[in-house]
Structure 1
Amino acid sequence: MASYNAAVAGRRKRNEDQLISILDAFEASTDFADLADRTRKDYRRLLIVIEREFGNFPIAALEDRRTRGEFLAWRERLAVKSRRQADYAFAVLARTLSWAYNRGLVPLNPCERPGRLYRASRSENIWSKADEAAFHAAASPHLSLALTLALWTGQRQGDLLQLSWSAYNGETIRLRQNKTKMAIEVPVGAPLKAALQKTLDRYRSDNVPVPETILATERGTAWTEGGFRASWRKACIKAGVKGVTFHDLRGTAVTRLAIAGATVPEIATITGHKLKEVGSILDAHYMSRDRALGQAAIRKLEESNSPK
C-alpha cells in the first residue's frame, strides 16, 4: 500500500505541469458536483476523450497562439463523425479551462468563443395536432400519457421520467428541475387532469399498486432513459410520426402557449425557462414559421377593429 501511494504521489507530481492535472481538478471541484446527474455523466465521458488526446499537454504551452489551432484541429477531426458531439467535447474543454483560468491555474483559455460547427434549426420541428392524434391512436396508454404530460407541462424528458405521483395534488404538479435546480409549480389543465385520472383508474381496475412515478412501463416500473427512448421511437414509427422527437414537445408546448395568448413571463413560469430564453426560443426556433401564430395575430387585430 505504501508503494502504491508513493507511485500515485509521484505521478501527480509529474503531472502538475500537464493538462491532466487541470482535468482532474475540475472533476473534483464543486462546479462539477453542481452539474445535473446526466450532465456529469456526459462530462466524465468527454473528459476521458480530452485526456486521451491532451492529457500530457504542457500547461505553459496554452499561451502559445498555435495552441488554439491545435484544439480546433482536434474538433475538426471529431466532427468527421459528429459535428454536434465535436462541439460538445470542445465546450467541455473550454469550460474546464475557463474554470482553471478563473482560479489562476492556467495562464490563458485559448478555447474562448470558437463558434459552432453544428447548426440546427428546430423551427419546423413542432408537433402538429395531426401528429398528436396519430400518436395517441397508435401508442400504448403509458406512452400516450407521456405525450400529454409533456405537452401540458413543457418539462424536459429527464424530469418527467422522475416525476412521482406525490408531486401531483389534483390541481398542480410540483417539481424541481434537475438541470436548473429551479422549483416549478405547473397548474394541471383539464386534458392532463383527465389523463392522470384515467391512469389511476386503470391501476385500480386492474387491482395493481400505483407505481411511484407517474410515467411507468407496462410492468409498473420506472423508466430508464434508454428504455424510454427506444419505446418512444417504436411508437412514433407505428404512428407514422416523422421529423419530430420527444424533445420537440418542450418547444411545442412553448409555441402552443404563445398561440393561446400567454405572455413570456407566463410561459417561463410554467416551463422554467429564463425570460430571455423564452424570447429567444419563440423568436429563433419556434415562432418564426408557425402559421397558427400569424393567424392568431390577425384574429386579434380583427377583434380589436370590430365595432363594439
Structure 2
Amino acid sequence: MRSRKRVGAVELPRYVWSRPNKIGRHYYSYTRHRGRDWAWPTIPIPFDPQTQEFWQRCKQCEALEAGQDGGEWRWSWRGPSGRLYPLPSPKAPEFWPAIDDAGKRDASRDGEDRKTFGALVEAYTAHKAYADLADLTKRDYDRHLREIVRIWGDEPVSALTAVDAQEAIDSFQSTPSVARYFRAVLSKLIGFGVPRGFATVNVVADTEKVEHEVEPHEPWPDWAFELFFEHARPALQLPVYSALYTGQRSVDVVPMARPAAGANAIELVARKTGRKVFVPIHSEYREILTRTHLDHPALHLREGGEPWTLAAYRTAWQRDFTSVNAKGTPTSAPAAKKAAMARLREAGLVFHGLRKNAVNMLLEAGGTEAEVSAIVEMSEQMVRHYSRDVNKRRLARNMMRKLEEGWAETRRNLFGEGASAR
C-alpha cells in the first residue's frame, strides 16, 4: 500500500509517495496527478527523507514539466529564471544528472543576465588575468573570491554600494592583513567587471584603505645560528644554509633541485610570482654543497635519503623546535637541545626570518635595492621595508665618513681658525 502524506513523523511533499517492501523498507517516488487519467509516469526518487538529497530531488520534481507527444512522454525542467531545459526519460540513468546540469546552467545564465557576483567570479577565473597569476597568489585569491560569492553571489554587482563593501571589509578588522587583502581582491574583481558591463564604477575606491604595516620577520642573530647548527636535526640544516645564501622562500628552498657540478648559479621559478630566479652560488655555499653532496636530483634530503616535501619539512621543523611530536607527546630530546630550541622559539625566530638575513647581508655588502631584488625575488619596495635598520646603519656610516673627510673645514667653521684639536 502506498502512502503520500506521512512516513513515521515525516510529512512528504505533494505528489511524493512511499511504498514499503516485505521487510518494511520504504521506497519513494514522484507521481503527479496519481489516480487520474492524466497522471504522469512514476519517477523513482533514489534517496530517503533522512538525506538532504531526497528533499533536493523533491524540489526539482516540482519544477518538472511533462506531456505526451504522439503517445510518447516528453520531459523538461523549468529553472528559476523561467528557462525550459529538455530532459531524458526518468528511466534513463542520466535523468537526474541532466536536471543537476540544467540547474547549474540556469544559475549561470541567470547570473550572466543579471550580472551577479557569482557570474563575475566565474568570468574572472576563466580569464587570462586570473590564469596568469602564480599558484600561491591564486590560492590566496580563491579564499577571498569564495567569501565574496558567499556574501553576494546572487546579487548584481551594480547593486553593491561603498557602504556594503566597507561593512564587509570591516568584518575582518580584527585581522588587518586579511582585511587589506580582501579589499584588494574585491577591488580587482569589480575593476575587471566594469569594462565588461557588470558595474559602471568600482565602489571599492570609496572605501577606507586598511592601515596595516607589515612587520618583517626578525633576522637570526649569531647566537641563534650557533644553537641551531649545534642541536637541530641534521636533515633540517642544509635548507637553512640554502635559505641564507639564496634568500628564497621556504616554498622554493625545500624542493630545490641539486645544481649540476660546476654550475655557477641556482636557477628556479619562484612559486609565488611565477618568475625565473637566477642566484649565483657563493663560494662558501658551494663548499657546503660539496661537503654535503649526495647523488640525488633533489638537494634537500631526509636522513633516509628521500627528498623533503614542504609539508614534511615544516612538520619536522615544528617538532624539533617544540620537542613535541605530532600526537602532542613530548619527545625524548636531550635537555640541552630542548633548552636551546626553547630559546630560539621564545625569540620568535622562524624560517622566513632567514630571508631577511639574506637581504641584510646583500645590502651590507653594498648591493643596491635593485640588485638585492633580483636575487631574492622581492620588490624593491619590500627590500626597503625589510632593510630599514640596515639602511639606517649605511646612512649613518656614510654620513660619518663624509664628516671625517670634511672635518678640517667643518672644524674651522665651528671653532674658528685659531682653535686647536683637543
- TM-score interval, smaller chain: 0.7 to 0.9
Q: Verify the 8 A CA contact 1:138 1:235 in the aligned structure 2.
A: no
- State the secondary structure of the residue aligned to 2:203: coil
Q: 2:385 aligns with which of 260, 264, 284?
A: 284
Greater per-residue strand proportion: 2
2:281 alignment partner in structure 1: 188
1:194-217 per-residue CA deviation (whole Å, 9 max, x = no partner) reads: 2212221xx4xxxxx62x321233
Name the CA distance, whole Å, in 1 between partners of 2:184 and 2:308. Answer: 29
1:146 aligns with 2:247: no
**CA displacement at 1:292 relative to structure 2:** 5.7
Name the CA distance, whole Å, in 2 between partners of 1:167 and 1:96. Answer: 43
2:172 is matched by which residue type in structure 1? L
1:133 alignment partner in structure 2: 226
1:36-74 per-residue CA deviation (whole Å, 9 max, x = no partner) reads: 122222322322222111112222213xxxx22222222
Relative to structure 1, the CA distance from residue 219 to residue 157 in structure 2 (aligned partners, 3 Å threshold; closer, same or farther) is: same
Name the CA distance, whole Å, in 1 between partners of 2:235 and 2:404. Answer: 41
**CA displacement at 1:28 relative to structure 2:** 1.5
Q: Verify the 8 A CA contact 2:255 2:310 in the aligned structure 1.
A: no
**CA displacement at 1:92 relative to structure 2:** 2.0
Report matched runs for 1:13-28 at 5 Å. 13-16=109-112, 17=114, 18-28=116-126
1:72 aligns with 2:166: yes
The structure with the larger Rg is 2
Instruction: Calculate the TM-score normalised by the size of structure 2.
Output: 0.60
Name the CA distance, whole Å, in 2 between partners of 1:303 and 1:167. Answer: 48
Q: Verify the 8 A CA contact 1:177 1:184 in the aligned structure 2.
A: yes
1:10-46 per-residue CA deviation (whole Å, 9 max, x = no partner) reads: 1112222221111111112212111112222232232
Name the CA distance, whole Å, in 2 between partners of 1:297 and 1:234. Answer: 44
Name the CA distance, whole Å, in 2 between partners of 1:55 and 1:197. Answer: 56
1:84 aligns with 2:177: yes
- State the secondary structure of the residue aligned to 1:221: coil
Q: 1:54 aligns with which of 126, 147, 152?
A: 152
1:120 alignment partner in structure 2: 214
1:179 alignment partner in structure 2: 272
Relative to structure 1, the CA distance from residue 295 to residue 149 in structure 2 (aligned partners, 3 Å threshold; closer, same or farther) is: farther
Q: Verify the 8 A CA contact 1:84 1:117 in the aligned structure 2.
A: no
Q: 25-34 or 90-99, which moves further after superposition?
A: 90-99
Q: 1:254 aligns with which of 340, 359, 381?
A: 359
2:327 alignment partner in structure 1: none
Q: 2:349 aligns with which of 226, 241, 244?
A: 244
Name the CA distance, whole Å, in 1 between partners of 2:226 and 2:283. Answer: 17
2:68 alignment partner in structure 1: none
- State the secondary structure of the residue aligned to 1:162: coil
1:243-296 per-residue CA deviation (whole Å, 9 max, x = no partner) reads: 2322222222111111122233332332233xxx33x34543323367864675
2:194 is matched by which residue type in structure 1? Y
Relative to structure 1, the CA distance from residue 293 to residue 159 in structure 2 (aligned partners, 3 Å threshold; closer, same or farther) is: same
Q: Verify the 8 A CA contact 2:259 2:265 in the aligned structure 1.
A: no
Instruction: Give the CA RMSD over aligned residues.
Output: 3.0
Name the CA distance, whole Å, in 1 between partners of 2:270 and 2:156. Answer: 39
Name the CA distance, whole Å, in 2 between partners of 1:43 and 1:152. Answer: 31
Instruction: Calculate the TM-score normalised by the size of structure 1.
Output: 0.80
- State the secondary structure of the residue aligned to 1:78: coil
Relative to structure 1, the CA distance from residue 257 to residue 23 in structure 2 (aligned partners, 3 Å threshold; closer, same or farther) is: same
1:271 alignment partner in structure 2: 376
Higher relative CO (Cα under 8 Å, sequence separation at least 6) belongs to 1
Q: 217-226 or 89-98, which moves further after superposition?
A: 217-226
| Structure 1 residue runs without a partner (length 5+) | 204-208
Q: Verify the 8 A CA contact 1:75 1:90 in the aligned structure 2.
A: yes
Name the CA distance, whole Å, in 2 between partners of 1:121 and 1:5. Answer: 48
Equivalent residues, number: 288
Name the CA distance, whole Å, in 1 between partners of 2:257 and 2:350. Answer: 23
Relative to structure 1, the CA distance from residue 111 to residue 159 in structure 2 (aligned partners, 3 Å threshold; closer, same or farther) is: same
- State the secondary structure of the residue aligned to 1:288: helix
